[in-house]
Amino acid sequence: MTEITHPLATIPRDELLSRAEADPLRPRFHFVSPAGWLNDPNGVSQWNGTYHLFYQYNPEGAFHHRIQWGHATSADLVTWTDQPVALEPSAGPDAEGCWSGVLVNDDGTPTLVYSGRFEDKELPCVAVGSPDLLNWTKDPGNPVIGAPPAGVDITAYRDHCVWREGGKWRQLVGSGIRHLGGTAFLYESSDLRSWDYLGPLFIGDASQGDPADTDWTGTMWECVDLFRAGQGSLGSAPADNSPDVLVFSAWDDGETRHPLYWIGRYAGDTFEPEALHRLDYGGRFFYAPQSFQDESGRRIMFGWMQEGRSDAAMVEAGWSGVMSLPRVTTVAKDGTLAFSPVPEIAKLRSDHVSVPAQVLVGAGTSVTTGVSGNQLDLELDVQLAPGAEVRLGVLVSADGAEETVIVLGRAADGAPTGTLRLDRTRSSLNPAVDVEDKSGPLPMTDGRVRLRVLVDRSAVEIFANGKPLTARIYPTLGGERVTLAATEGSVRLLSFDAWTMARVFDETRSLLPERK
Ligand code: DQQ
């Protein structure tokens, strides 16, 4: 057994796996680390047909420390094979952690660009992979950028977005300029090793809005991700209205706030913003997203579903952190992003239940759904009259003491934007877990809402007309009932289909997986 090195490493390593596996709150069809700690998705990609998911990993226990790059592969984005740890800290510029980064194809050579942490600071590092992406060699010239831009008072500096443009590499490093706001510094290189600083791509304004706002842009931007959504590639003249998108996770003095994105145009060395949007109404529960274009041309995004329970509870559970299901990212008619889980996950479905179409009129009208379970995929098509509200309860306990409720509302004046809300006030009898309300605007035409809800024990992902709301919940009573009720006005239930979702890991996993 490896020596215990951290004060929070109170659970012996050989007990972590069994603790994690025994936890009824641990998701079964989302990717989770074998045990210990998981945070950001890294190096998300498809390489010669195989999907790769790397992630921030601490196999020592369920706390963020001495972070390594865990690795898993998949043929279908649904089931995953654990692979050996790709990067782990070693003497030198990443001695304190291999923090977030990306995978690029350097003329056939898989190459990672990541943040090496040393003496409480991060700097850009590079590693090259074997053709199967299982063995990684760090560049002897690390760090490849020796310091943040000179003369700028920064709040932090880390995380990478790297792409090929005009025969050169370009890179963004997330940062923040003190007393101004978050930013991304732009660099250029011909070999991924020697970088010229070009300037800030764009600087946010942290004095705009209230720091408590769900779209406050923060004092630092973590995990910046710039891409052309729709047709074309970054830097090319747009053939249509395909926007450029700058995704970032707003951070403030150690606090992981929420993911946001700017729609705009990247041209030359700058980004011209048009509009700012919330990326997920669950805020911090879908943090540090990273996306890639797969071989079929789809833009696919993963995010880290962090925990809403205490540090001590995570350590005791032996595991922490859930990877979201991969999401197909497209541009909606109104120019904002729309998301849906990759269609491949439908292969996990079984035991289909269909609830008859019907009209629910008046406060308190409820439907007997006949649906139950804690690993579920629910698809509803509803139409709300002006002023109507409908509540879908999941993980409802037999006595009704615990329930997690997805609420859809339409304004009384029939406005084209209603509300999506997740009411977690009665999700758990445990007073120590996060139960804050999450909500956001829900675009709808004629009150019509296509709702998809994926329930995986403590993980919930909701998609309503393409708007995502992701959260974690910690029920204590093992409730599995699904309820549906109109609480205001008239609601037409046009369809309601439900499936049980299979688990994706059958075998016992290993904390430090070996090559398969
Ligand atoms: N997590 C990583 C950082 C990143 C942050 C460290 C976001 O690289 O900024 O594990 O969650």
Q: How far is CA 166 from the centre of its chain?
A: 30
Q: How far is CA 271 from the centre of its chain?
A: 24
Q: Can you tell me which atom of ligand 1 is nearest the CA of 101?
A: 8
Q: Is 155 in the pocket of ligand 1 (CB under 6 A)?
A: no
Q: Can you tell me which residue has the tokens 């120019």?
A: 335
Q: Is 175 in the pocket of ligand 1 (CB under 6 A)?
A: no
Q: What is the pLDDT of residue 2?
A: 45
Q: Is 159 in the pocket of ligand 1 (CB under 6 A)?
A: yes
Ligand 1 center from residue 100 Cα (angstroms): 6
Q: What is the pLDDT of residue 13?
A: 87
Q: How do residues 425-452 score in pLDDT, each as one tens digit?
A: 999 999 999 999 999 999 999 999 999 9
3-state DSSP assignment of residue 22: helix
Q: Which CATH superfamily is domain 347-501 in?
A: Exo-inulinase; domain 1 (2.60.120.560)
Q: Can you tell me which atom of ligand 1 is nearest the CA of 100?
A: 8
Q: How do residues 80-119 score in pLDDT, each as one tens digit?
A: 999 999 999 999 999 999 999 999 999 999 999 999 999 9
Q: Which of 509, 512, 514 is nearest to 32 (CA)?
A: 509
Pocket test for ligand 1, best of 64, 222, 324 (most atoms within 8 A of CB): 222
Q: How do residues 349-367 score in pLDDT, each as one tens digit?
A: 999 999 999 999 988 899 9
Pocket test for ligand 1, best of 60, 117, 223, 324 (most atoms within 8 A of CB): 223
Judge contact between 110 and 119, C-beta under 8 A. Answer: no
Question: What secondary structure does DSSP assign to 317-384, as a single string?
Answer: HTEE-EEPPPEEEEE-TTSSEEEEE-GGGGGGEEEEEEPPPEEEESTTEEE----B-SEEEEEEEEEE
By DSSP bridging, strand 322-323 and strand 327-331 are unpaired
Ligand 1 center from residue 349 Cα (angstroms): 33
Q: Is 68 in the pocket of ligand 1 (CB under 6 A)?
A: no
Q: How do residues 442-495 score in pLDDT, each as one tens digit?
A: 999 999 999 999 999 999 999 999 999 999 999 999 999 999 999 999 999 999
CATH architecture assigned to 7-341: 5 Propeller (2.115)
Q: Is 100 in the pocket of ligand 1 (CB under 6 A)?
A: yes
Q: Give the start-to-end residue ranges of the domains of the chain.
A: 7-341, 347-501
Ligand 1 center from residue 221 Cα (angstroms): 10
From the first residue on, what is the mean pLDDT of each consecutive set of 10 residues in the chain (516 residues)? 69 93 97 98 98 98 98 98 98 98 98 98 98 98 98 98 97 98 98 98 98 98 97 90 97 98 97 98 98 98 98 97 98 96 98 97 90 98 97 97 98 96 98 97 98 99 99 98 96 98 93 90
Q: Can you tell me which atom of ligand 1 is nearest the CA of 115?
A: 8
Judge contact between 371 and 379, C-beta under 8 A. Answer: no
Q: Environment class of residue 469 by beta-carbon count within 10 Å: exposed (0-12), middle (13-18) or buried (19+)? A: buried
Q: pTM, whole model, 2 decimals?
A: 0.97
By DSSP bridging, strand 244-252 and strand 220-228 are antiparallel
Judge contact between 305 and 470, C-beta under 8 A. Answer: yes
Q: Is 456 in the pocket of ligand 1 (CB under 6 A)?
A: no
The token pair that represents 189 in the structure block: 């290189």
Q: Can you tell me which atom of ligand 1 is nearest the CA of 99?
A: 8
Q: Is 32 in the pocket of ligand 1 (CB under 6 A)?
A: no
From first CA to last CA, the distance across the chain in angstroms is 22
Ligand 1 center from residue 119 Cα (angstroms): 16
By DSSP bridging, strand 36-47 and strand 50-58 are antiparallel
Q: What is the pLDDT of residue 14?
A: 86
Q: Can you tell me which atom of ligand 1 is nearest the CA of 122?
A: 8
